[in-house]
Structure 1
Amino acid sequence: MAGKLFDENKICFISCVNNDNQYNECLESWNALRVPEGMKVESLVIHDAVSMTDGYQAGMESSDAKYKIYIHQDVWINNKNFLITMVREFQKHPEYGILGVVGSRSLPLNGVWWEGEKIGAIRDRVSGEMSEYLYERNDRECTEAIALDGLILMTQYDVDWRTDIFTKWHFYDVSQCVEFLKRGYKVAVLPQNMPLCTHFAGMNAMKGYDTESQKFLKEYVPFLEEMYAAKS
């Protein structure tokens, strides 16, 4: 945001929370992470958000941390060096605007990232049972993507969340990736061999999905078509 001063030695976890017990359990794993030398970590909770974009925008505006981690209240971070890896990749690659752990190298024009060329890894119970989903990945370098899953999104620059468009709990993640792409930044998945995170969400609630999908298509398909045409 123009004129805002950032603390380049600060990392902030930002979460929309409606289940404090679940959040506190996952917070334990975040607090156990190794912190890059000379840096500090804070956690920011947004209660009573009316949408994910609303909550994340409020969190973004409330923190002066250069590095922000937008994370669901039900995500456990498995790797103790997670923060060290994240900061290293951001500092090495100023062109990286937003990072995740799982996403897609391509984004179908319907906006559904998991129907694209999936990359990264995650432990999740989206199917009902906890399973490991291992896609194309690199354990030494980031893998460039177009879209990321919103279970965890990491940024080193502030870009406004589209509160004017997405008013529920879907497409905020893919929208934010495209917003970074529109500004010339790159989107990528962190280096990993095995999953860096475990997601305890279970089956996702799909209420409002179709409505948000139509908003995404109207707003972003022209940009995506132009981007794909330029690459072909």
Structure 2
Amino acid sequence: MDSHSFLFVVCVNDEPLYSRCKSHIMQLTVPPSYSVDIMPIYDSASMASSYNKALRHPSKYKIYLHQDTFIIHQHFLHDMLHIFQSHQELGLLGVAGCKTLPPNGIWWESGQRMGKVIEYRGNAYHPLDFEHGDEDGLFTPADAIDGLLMAAQYDVEWREDLFRGFHFYDTSQSLEFQKHGYQVGVACQKDPWCLHFCGDSFDAAAYEADRQTFVKHYMAKPSR
């Protein structure tokens, strides 16, 4: 394990989007004595199976992000590293999520959403600034974080046996980290760290199928 290395893991099916994503990564300031690597994954069968490939990489700090996520906070690596080094119990860090996951498994329908992100949707920018975060801390503990950016300082296997598509892998992984004894959190951001260039296409049938799988496996039991 290389404790002085960052790995960005990106599933790619749109080269122009990935090029912009990569360009933003390359503009980040890097802490002294640390290195940065980028692992694009093409022809992904699922997010979980693709992300599991990254677990073989020696980098301690792995940042899983969408190809349409552009990190606009230049000191992201410094701040992320400071948070992780200050809290060894924190395993997984995001920029948006919820304190308490609702019974339907959909984090953004929680009454306790947290985080900040700028969305580009419908040809317009939409700054999202959820309440319930701890403005004075480094991060706020969360039940679940969104998959647009998930930074990890420990390796936990992604549940590709359950999620064979592109939905609920992130909420699942949030709970898997907690099952392994780690905390999950949303970073406290003065200004949004990321611009999410999300489109308007949405596969409702696939989403609902994965949601039902998630609820059956994680929410329908007395204990997660």
Q: TM bucket by the smaller chain?
A: over 0.9
- Residues 3-22 of structure 1 mapped to structure 2, 5 A cutoff: 6-22=1-17
Query: Is this contact kept in 2: 1:125–1:201, CA < 8 A?
Result: yes
Question: What is the TM-score of this pair, normalised by structure 2?
Answer: 0.94
Other-structure match for 1:209: 207
SS in 2 for 1:34: coil
Other-structure match for 1:82: 76
| 1:106 correspondence with 2:78 | no
Which amino acid is the alignment partner of residue 47 of structure 1?
A: Y
What stretches of structure 1 move > 6 A for 4+ residues in a row? none
Q: Across the two proteins, how many residue pairs are aligned to each other?
A: 220
Which amino acid is the alignment partner of residue 86 of structure 2?
A: K
Q: CA RMSD in A?
A: 1.4
Identify the range of structure 1 (116-125 vs 202-211) with the bigger mean alpha-carbon deviation: 202-211
Other-structure match for 1:3: none
Which of 2, 16, 25 does residue 20 from structure 2 map onto?
A: 25
Other-structure match for 2:30: 35
CA distance in 2, matches of 1:44, 1:22: 15
SS in 1 for 2:78: helix
Other-structure match for 1:190: 187
SS in 1 for 2:223: helix
- Residues 1-232 of structure 1 mapped to structure 2, 5 A cutoff: 6-61=1-56, 63-116=57-110, 117-126=112-121, 129-136=124-131, 137=133, 138=135, 140-207=137-204, 208-222=206-220, 225-226=222-223
Which amino acid is the alignment partner of residue 191 of structure 2?
A: M
Which amino acid is the alignment partner of residue 200 of structure 1?
A: F
Gaps of 5+ in 2: none
CA distance in 2, matches of 1:145, 1:204: 28
SS in 2 for 1:132: strand
Question: What is the TM-score of this pair, normalised by structure 1?
Answer: 0.91
